[in-house]
Chain A
Amino acid sequence: MNTPHAKALQKFARRINLLLAARAVLRISTIWLFVWGAVVLSFRFFNARGWIQVAFISLALLPFAWIFAGWRIWHQPPSFQKVRAAYDRWNACGGLIMAGETADMTGWQDHLPAAAIPPIRWNNGKAFLQLTVSAAFAATAVLIPDRLAHPGGHRHLEIGSIVDQLQAEIKTLAQEKIIPDQQAEETRKQLSELQKDSAGLSPDKTWEALDQIKEADQTEARQATEEALAKTAALAQAGTMAEAMDHAADAGMSPETATQAAQNLASMINDAKLDDGLMNGSIPPELLANLDKLNKQQLQKLMAAMNFTKGKLGNTIGKLANLKLIDADALSACQNAGQCNNPDALAAYLSQCSNGCSLAECQMLGRGGLSRGGPGAPMTWSDGTSEQDQEFKEHALPPANHLSDAQLVGISKTAPKLNDAAVADTPGALAAANAGGGSAHAQSILPEHRQAVQNYFKREN
């Protein structure tokens, strides 16, 4: 039908749908912006990476939400029957428009009032206010400064002293050439970044990184200490040998022995590996090249260089110990390395040894022999253990007088009979006891025990 009321009714239905769709879009925008803002804020609060990309991608999905809301309203509009009823009521058509749904009402057109589209009042102030608040919240979530969005994260950890300690360690390790300069520089950079980025909200990562650096420093220091220990010990041996050679040369050491001792000395210095690692280059290369042909002056120069190197190694280990990169045991072990050597004894040996001195013997003499542990250690015996207070003293038992006086009168299967009836009839402690009177428990004594009991009470104290 193309009547004015039919047209007005269609327009009315469309207007309702449009307004409902607009309302749905407004509501979904409000909810979307609020949720979006909350998500962005939480991303920023937890310092999630890539939050900007996530935020703007999700914001770009908003038009799709609008389309969905509009589509839903457009495809699920209010019942047209109800819209028709509302139109009928507003126009006071008395059911004629409603009847037009199922019947031909053409004849009643003249009786109907003029067609008018019922105005729909949408009190959208509150909805727009909510949208504005929601949008403001979303904008705030994006624009808020980091220090406010992530308050806990920018509260730096108090790691200044730890970082200073680690910096000092790295400086020492680099100075002592324990770690290369490049590695030291990288570690320093890493430390400064850690200090800058350390967050109060997630301290675990910072602590973990600091622990790793500390562990790396300690590992380097431990390796350096082991190397220093080995080198110090080797240098001490070599120094003892050199000093003994120097003394033995004055005491008339044979040339063969001198040659062999020089070879031993070269072997010891080579064992120290002074051309690699710690104190690399501390011994002049011309001396190292001619270790088996050193004259007295060169030998003294070598001894001085070795002493200097030993001292430097001790200083290095001391620094590491001061920084607590190594423990006190390692420090004392390093300090004591080679301290027991006895160059005088070795010099005497070398001067007496005319031919065929073995390196092992030299080493044993120079070091004073094995003192503890190991299968090669000598077995020493001291005085026997005192047995005072650990042995029982012998005591002679008193003579058995009573038994010696005893006489065997015979062997009987029954109890022996005594002639002294008075003794046997005396009840002793039970004399005054009444059975059941509570004074004592009267018990009959069997015949075979009677004599034993009598003997007990007759014994001499």
Chain B
Amino acid sequence: MPESNAVLKPEELLPATDLTRKTLEQLDRILLGRTELHRLVLIGILARGHVLLEGLPGLGKTALVRTVGHILKLDFKRVQFTPDLMPGDVLGSHILQETSGGKRELIFQPGPVFTNILLADEINRASPKTQSAMLETMQENSVTLLGTTRALPQPFFVLASQNPIELEGTYPLPEAQLDRFLFRLLFDNVDADVLDRIISERRRGELPAPTWQMERSELEMLFQTMSRIYLPRPVSRYIARLVSATHPGNAEATEPVNRYVSYGASPRAAIAIAEAARAQALVSGRPSVGFEDVKFVTSSVLNHRLILNYQARFDRMTTSKLVSELLASMDETGLKLPGDMELAKA
């Protein structure tokens, strides 16, 4: 059997699963009431994708990113994006310095982007020029200045946040740039029980220190294991059908998709779903991807990739609703039993 087809054995997968479990335990312990969000952020990291966090101020976006950085023992930097922020402020710039020998030369001063985890806070407040420079870096994993290309430290993740209110004076990210984020995760308000725990257990909102941290080698091992998660053919076919069905006019497109969607998801979305589903399978302790893994990540992958029309705005149709209906209507296996035959619910 070729190595590419070799499925991980239980003893090979178990250490990686343990690591993800410990990471999630730490996250859940430090940040209360956001289990699913923590899982998705971890999946985003394992899939080597960038994550856009969207939510109201004070919901813990920065705290989440900081905690992830601490647990993974990765270098973490934060940039507060403002309208006057220049690309050089993010990427770095050359500064004229006098050397010990008395000579003067341009020395590159790396920007905050030279880190493992970068929190781009309120990314929609920066000018398009700065956003563009930042997003290009995200795609290339390198910075090119004055003809010199400098690779970013690996792993490199951008966890960007944006505020859905106070949109005056902001520059919403264009769809082409949004497409570079693996996930767009929405921060909801926590319920009263969680708030009660936060108030009673966190004095002045200070976060507890993690009791366990992941070593760099363990993170590398996680990435290696991720690459060996098996994606069965029916599942990959399901992903392809899902993404195709987001395009209006497709044979499997639902009526709401045909009605409300102007442009469907790109092939990059299909790749993102596949990678995220692999990561979800790893976190779940399985060596192969199942349909449930795909369903778990699809909404987060697609919800910033579908371009809706004005009719959707009028009818208050959201991308999440569209994706949920699409997932509910599509038969995952493609078995296509006749209309009067169906598999009983499990």
Complex Cα gap A79–B336 (Å)? 10
Give the most central of B9, B289, B343: most A CB within 10 Å: B343
- Asked whether A412 is an interface residue with its Cβ less than 8 Å from the other chain, the reply is no
Query: Separation in Å of the B343 CB from the closest CB of chain A?
Result: 5
Q: Which residue of B lies closest to A126 (CB)?
A: B340
Residues 210-226 of chain B: 1 if any A CB is under 8 Å from the residue's CB, otherwise 0?
A: 00000000000000000
Given contacts A83-B335, A94-B284, contact A121 B289 (CB under 8 A): no
Cross-chain contact of A94 among B11, B288, B334, B346 (Cβ < 8 A) = B288
Is B290's CB under 8 angstroms from A94's CB? yes
CB A53 to nearest CB in B, in angstroms, measures 36
Taken together as a complex, chains A and B put the C-alpha atoms of A82 and B333 apart, in Å, by: 6
When the two chains form their complex, are residues B341 and A121 in contact, meaning their CB atoms are under 8 A apart?
A: yes
**B333:A96 contact, CB within 8 angstroms:** no
Residues of B with C-beta under 8 A to A401: none
Q: CA–CA, A266 to B292, complex, Å? A: 126
How many residue pairs link A and B with beta carbons under 8 A? The number is 120
Which residues of the other chain, B, contact A118 by a CB distance below 8 angstroms?
343-344, 346
Contacts of A19 in B (CB 8 A): 341
Q: Which residues of B contact A121 (CB under 8 A)?
A: 341-344
Interface-side segment among A99-107, A219-227, A348-356: A99-107
Given contacts A122-B341, A123-B340, contact A81 B346 (CB under 8 A): no
A82-B335, A90-B346 given; A127·B5 CB < 8 A: no
B234 interface residue (CB < 8 Å to A) = yes
- Which of A78, A79, A95, A96 has most B Cβ within 10 Å? A95
Q: Per-position contact with B for A82-124: 1 when CB-CB < 8 Å, else 0?
A: 1111101111111110110111110110110000001111111
Residues of A within 8 A of B230 (CB): 95, 99, 103
From residue A198, how far is it (CB to closest CB) to chain B in Å?
51
Inter-chain contacts of B284 with A (CB < 8 A): 94
Closest to B230 in A: A99
Residues in A with CB closer than 8 Å to B292 are 92, 94
The chain A residue with its CB closest to the CB of B331 is: A86
Q: Which residues of B contact A154 (CB under 8 A)?
A: none
- On chain B, the number of residues with a Cβ less than 8 Å from chain A's Cβ atoms is 35
Q: How far is the CA of A101 from the CA of B334 in the complex (A)?
A: 17
Inter-chain contacts of A91 with B (CB < 8 A): 346
- B2 shortest CB reach to chain A, Å: 10
A78 and B10 in contact, given A98-B234, A104-B1, A121-B342 (Cβ under 8 angstroms): no
Which bracket fits the contact residues of A?
35 or more
Check B344 against A89 for contact (C-beta < 8 Å): no
A85 & B332 in contact (Cβ 8 Å cutoff) = yes
Are B340 and A95 neighbours in the complex by a CB distance under 8 Å?
A: no
A178 to chain B, nearest CB (A): 77
Docked complex Cα distance between A86 and B281 (Å): 18
Residue B167 lies at the interface, judged by CB distance under 8 Å to chain A: no
Within 8 A of B (CB), among A49-102: 78-79, 81-86, 88-96, 98-99, 101-102
7 smallest CB-CB distances across A and B, nearest first, come from: A95-B288, A98-B232, A85-B234, A94-B290, A95-B290, A99-B288, A85-B333
25 contacts between A and B (CB under 8 A): A19-B341, A20-B341, A78-B337, A82-B335, A85-B232, A85-B234, A85-B335, A90-B346, A92-B292, A93-B290, A94-B284, A94-B289, A94-B290, A95-B235, A95-B293, A96-B287, A96-B290, A98-B288, A99-B288, A108-B7, A108-B287, A111-B286, A118-B343, A118-B346, A119-B344
Name B's A-contacting residues (CB within 8 A).
1, 5-7, 9-11, 230, 232-235, 281, 284, 286-293, 332-338, 340-344, 346
